[in-house]
């Protein structure tokens, strides 16, 4: 039996999303059907819409989502109808070599958790419709493997809980799991959208003695101070001008640089502002084919490191519990990260709102759609 759902369908790159009724399959053995409450717009969603990242169309995008479990498969043991949940694009098996080494975002069995014998979504003509990362959250309901979901307590509102699945997992996770930031360290965060804002807050929680926020927009820098930045630098379109400004604050260079933009220029900047033995962590997804150029002498003679941390090297199930407790204690400001909320019918306007100078995270309220 299939369930009719309201969805925002990407019919082709560089086209506005189209609101359509689609049909969602029933849960297989380890799957869970979730009714969507809120979904946040991630920069990666925008890259798929513009065609900078590729996904076969037609497809339903969206992955940074909160909702309520409606139905579960016969082998699901951890979740029950009525549970409040958030989703991740990096479910982990917990048994492969990467999971056992504490790197579940590199799980070797990821594809197995998304493999199924029939399409999740179909059109009214029965044609298969793809889903981004096996989720497809721009819809009134979505279907995922149990391993892709974590529960959230009743005292964490759903309109901030959705952030936990991606921007908080990536930004805060990069600091908690992808780096060794301590009170002795100086940190520069390049890009103060959702991922960068989360990284700033986590660096504050780790006690970094200096946290410098960098962004083109003054409005984002104002919020960065609220999140814990000790200093801010208004970025220039000339990355070397930004580099000089950062050098005035820390002439010997930074011990950690976190890039949360997704451009070669900002990734290269993150490496150049490091001091000896410093580490640059690149979080921003970049269009297919992009490459980085870094000075070899600085890498070798200065013992500097350049690394990725896909989704912040997060450990989703345990991390969500940690972030919820930090939210309750007032140490993780999720509310200030939500700068715009629009109804599901205005999802295309929500993508436009992402480009506003004050935008950190734009949410779409899906709670009333398709009911």
* CATH for 158: 3.90.180.10
- Of 119, 126, 127, the residue nearest 58 (C-alpha): 127
Q: Let me know whether 268 and 345 are in one domain.
A: no
- Of 123, 122, 120, 125, the residue nearest 135 (C-alpha): 120
Instruction: Quote the CA–CA distance of 90 and 165 in Å, as a whole number.
Output: 10
Q: Let me know whether 120 and 175 are in one domain.
A: no
Q: Let me know whether 21 and 150 are in one domain.
A: yes
Residue 104 lies in a domain: yes
Query: For residue 132, with 0-12 CB atoms within 10 Å meaning exposed, 13-18 middle and 19 or more buried, which class applies?
Result: buried
Residue 252 lies in a domain: yes
pLDDT over threshold 80, residue 137 = yes
Q: Contact at 8 Å (CB) between 196 and 189?
A: yes
Q: Return the number of other C-beta atoms located less than 10 Å from residue 114's C-beta.
A: 16
Residue 327 lies in a domain: no
Could you give the C-alpha distances from 272 to 221, 242, 293, 307, 369, in angstroms and in order? Answer: 22, 11, 11, 13, 47
Q: Per-residue b/e over 245-265, b at no fewer than 16 CB within 10 Å?
A: bbeebbeebbbbbbbbbbbbb
> What is the model's pLDDT at position 117?
86
- pLDDT class for 239, splitting at 50, 70, 90? confident
Q: Let me know whether 33 and 151 are in one domain.
A: yes
Q: Let me know whether 53 and 193 are in one domain.
A: no
Q: Residue 194 sits in which domain range? A: 171-310
Rg of the chain in Å (alpha carbons) = 20
- pLDDT class for 370, splitting at 50, 70, 90? low
pLDDT over threshold 70, residue 278 = yes
User: Which pair of structure tokens corresponds to residue 263?
Assistant: 């451009």
Q: Which single residue is written with the structure tokens 């790197």?
A: 103
Per the structure, the count of domains in the chain is 2
- pLDDT class for 350, splitting at 50, 70, 90? very high
- pLDDT class for 235, splitting at 50, 70, 90? very high
> What is the model's pLDDT at position 61?
97
Residue 371 lies in a domain: no
Residue 328 lies in a domain: no
> What is the model's pLDDT at position 289?
87
Q: Let me know whether 228 and 357 are in one domain.
A: no
pLDDT over threshold 90, residue 308 = yes
Out of 310, 341, 357, a domain closes at 310
Instruction: Quote the CA–CA distance of 350 and 123 in Å, as a whole number.
Output: 24
Q: Which single residue is written with the structure tokens 């793809």?
A: 130
Q: Let me know whether 229 and 354 are in one domain.
A: no
Q: Let me know whether 260 and 300 are in one domain.
A: yes
Pairing outcome for strands 121-122 and 128-131: antiparallel
Mean pLDDT (whole number) for 325-339: 96
Domain containing residue 180: CATH number: 3.40.50.720
Q: Let me know whether 284 and 347 are in one domain.
A: no
- pLDDT class for 147, splitting at 50, 70, 90? very high
| Tens digit of each residue's pLDDT (9 = 90 or more) over 32-47 | 999 999 999 999 999 9
Residue 75 lies in a domain: yes
CA 192 vs. chain centroid, Å, equals: 13
- Of 63, 109, 283, the residue nearest 191 (C-alpha): 283
pLDDT over threshold 90, residue 92 = yes
Reading phi first (left if > 0) and then psi (alpha if -120 to 50, else beta), residue 88 is in: beta
Percent of the chain with pLDDT over 70: 99
Name the average pLDDT for the chain: 95
Q: Let me know whether 17 and 50 are in one domain.
A: yes
Q: Let me know whether 79 and 200 are in one domain.
A: no
Mean pLDDT (whole number) for 309-321: 93
Instruction: Quote the CA–CA distance of 54 and 287 in Å, as a whole number.
Output: 9
- pLDDT class for 371, splitting at 50, 70, 90? low
Q: Return the number of other C-beta atoms located less than 10 Å from residue 300's C-beta.
A: 9
CA 30 vs. chain centroid, Å, equals: 24
pLDDT over threshold 80, residue 243 = yes
> What is the model's pLDDT at position 115?
82
DSSP-derived secondary structure for 273-326: TEEEEEEEEE-----TT------HHHHHHTT-EEEE-GGGG--HHHHHHHHHHH
> What is the model's pLDDT at position 36?
98
Q: Contact at 8 Å (CB) between 220 and 227?
A: no
Residue 65 lies in a domain: yes
User: Which pair of structure tokens corresponds to residue 13?
Assistant: 């790159």
Q: Contact at 8 Å (CB) between 287 and 52?
A: yes
Instruction: Quote the CA–CA distance of 95 and 108 in Å, as a whole number.
Output: 9
Residue 193 lies in a domain: yes
Q: Let me know whether 120 and 194 are in one domain.
A: no
Instruction: Quote the CA–CA distance of 241 and 261 in Å, as a whole number.
Output: 17
């Amino acid at each position: 039996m299939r369930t009719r759902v309201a969805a925002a369908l990407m019919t082709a790159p560089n086209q506005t999303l189209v609101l359509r009724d689609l049909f969602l399959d029933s849960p297989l053995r380890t799957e869970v059907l979730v009714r969507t409450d809120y979904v946040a717009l991630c920069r990666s969603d925008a890259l798929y819409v513009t065609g900078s990242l590729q996904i076969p169309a037609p497809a339903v995008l969206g992955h940074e989502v909160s909702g309520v479990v409606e139905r579960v498969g016969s082998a699901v043991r951890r979740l029950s109808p009525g549970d409040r949940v958030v989703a991740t694009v990096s479910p982990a098996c917990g048994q492969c070599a990467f999971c056992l080494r504490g790197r579940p975002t590199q799980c070797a069995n990821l594809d197995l958790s998304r493999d199924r014998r029939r399409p999740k979504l179909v059109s009214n003509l029965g044609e298969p419709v793809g889903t981004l990362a096996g989720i497809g959250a721009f819809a009134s309901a979505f279907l995922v493997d149990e391993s892709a979901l974590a529960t959230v307590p009743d005292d964490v509102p759903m309109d901030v809980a959705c952030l936990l699945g991606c921007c908080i997992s990536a930004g805060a996770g990069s600091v908690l799991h992808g780096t060794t930031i301590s009170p002795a360290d100086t940190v520069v965060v390049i890009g103060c959208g959702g991922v960068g804002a989360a990284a700033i807050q986590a660096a504050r929680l780790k006690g970094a003695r200096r946290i410098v926020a960098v962004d083109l927009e003054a409005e984002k820098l104002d919020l960065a101070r609220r999140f814990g930045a000790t200093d801010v630098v208004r970025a220039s379109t000339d990355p070397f001008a930004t580099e000089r400004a950062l050098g005035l604050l820390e002439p010997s260079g930074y011990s950690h640089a976190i890039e949360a933009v997704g451009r070669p220029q900002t990734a290269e900047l993150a490496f150049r502002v490091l001091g000896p033995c410093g580490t640059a962590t690149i979080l921003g997804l970049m269009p297919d084919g992009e490459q980085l150029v870094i000075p070899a002498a600085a890498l070798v003679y200065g013992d500097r490191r350049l690394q990725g941390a896909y989704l912040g090297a997060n450990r989703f199930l345990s991390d969500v519990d940690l972030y919820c407790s930090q939210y309750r204690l007032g140490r993780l400001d999720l509310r200030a990260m939500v700068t715009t909320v629009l109804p599901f019918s205005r999802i295309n306007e929500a993508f436009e709102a992402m480009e506003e100078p004050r935008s950190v995270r734009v949410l779409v309220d899906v709670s009333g759609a398709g009911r």
